[in-house]
Chains A and B, each alone.
Chain A
Amino acid sequence: MNELILGLAAGTGLGFLLQRGRVLRFEKQIGALLLRDMTILKFMLSAIIVGMLGLAIAHDVGLISFNHKTMNLGAILTGGALFGIGWAVCGYCPGTAVGALGEGRWHAAFVILGMLVGALLYVEAQPWLERTLLTWHDYGKISLPRAINSPDAPVIAGFTGIALLLFWLFERKGL
């Protein structure tokens, strides 16, 4: 029961913040992909910097354990590219499509329907994909620092530095 209440609470908070940050708008999503309006990158990168630091601390003091998604080369490269194409066409990612519907943008309902069909197609295609595409190299569930043989701190610091540089650039260019 805890599980469901915690999920609903976190989701409500996240939906509210996405809405207030204006991240749920079609204009903002396509605006970011056309490099005209970086609202969603400002939101995402800010969330990631704080989350990286917070989760690293929570992990180091033993409060949580990480759950990396596997770095399967064929899956990530093909899936990532397909997602990019679909995202630019429909204008939403799964979470923002649901949120956009909550904001009254009812065209997002067709995006959600398409996503349900896409999920079904993937389930149907999975056995075949497992015999083909997914047999490419699999690096396993590893972190970037482990992959490049570095401690976590420099990666967090480097990422934060790059993000802050981007923020400075966005503000300078008025994006």
Chain B
Amino acid sequence: MNDSGSERRDGWNPYLAGVLAGVLAVCSAVATAQLTDKARFFGTSTTFVHVTTFLMRQMSRMQPGHRISFAQDQRIADWQFMLVVGILCGALLGALSDGSFKSEGVPPIWSTRFGGSWRVRAVGGFVGGIVAMFGARLAGGCPSGHGLSGLMQLSLSGFVALALFFGVGWITARLLYRGGAR
């Protein structure tokens, strides 16, 4: 919180952080293969489906007239759910321990292009989030599931999906920000 929005060049070297994340992915896959029923690979988007169906089920229980056709009662807390909770905790831990925790309602690039209103940013984030997650579930994964885990396993689908994520993301970002917001 001691630096107000300007480019902070602290943090770790991204190559080093990436290499460590790769080591972590391998250790995690081996550990889960040995200690649980199967090897598990990084991924986050399935958890969003579990959470949302869990919430809908709770709501439909409160309203007996309303019927939702969600299948079997999966429990909400599984390995991937805990992975997502861990990402939140780990990021909080990292941000607090090096003083980079910052309350931010509108990111700088966004405000240069779309103004400083947090409501506009909230709508953009919300709508973009809907489209992104619909796409991720349709594709069967997100940049962690398809991108990291898919490529690490040399999955054909991972290579194609990651290329599309970045390719279409690049075109969209260029249209949205039209070279502005430097």
Contact = CB atoms under 8 A, between A and B. Distances in A.
Given A12-B93, A15-B86, A105-B102, A115 B154 contact: no
A165 interface: no
Nearest to B147: A44
B31 A6 contact: yes
Contacts of B176: 88-89
Given A23-B14, A143-B155, A110 B29 contact: no
Nearest to B171: A84
Contacts of A93: 44, 132, 136, 142-144, 165
B104 A105 contact: yes
Contact of A15 (B33, B89, B133): B89
Interface residues of A, number: 122
A101 to B, nearest CB: 6
Interface in A69-90: 69-72, 75-90
B14 A42 contact: yes
Contacts of B136: 79, 83, 93-94, 118
Best-buried of B125, B126, B148 by chain A (most CB within 10 Å): B125
Task: Describe B's contact surface by its main secondary structure.
Answer: helix
A64 B128 CA distance: 36
B85 A110 contact: no
B95 A48 contact: no
B87 A18 contact: yes
A114 B128 contact: yes
Contacts of B32: 3, 6
B153 interface: yes
B90 A18 contact: yes
A161 interface: no
Given A50-B22, A63-B30, A83-B164, 9 more contacts: A13-B24, A15-B89, A43-B21, A51-B152, A55-B26, A69-B155, A75-B139, A88-B176, A90-B127
Interface of A: 2-27, 30-35, 39-40, 42-52, 54-56, 58, 63-72, 75-95, 97-108, 110-123, 125, 129, 133, 139, 141-147, 152, 155-156, 159, 167
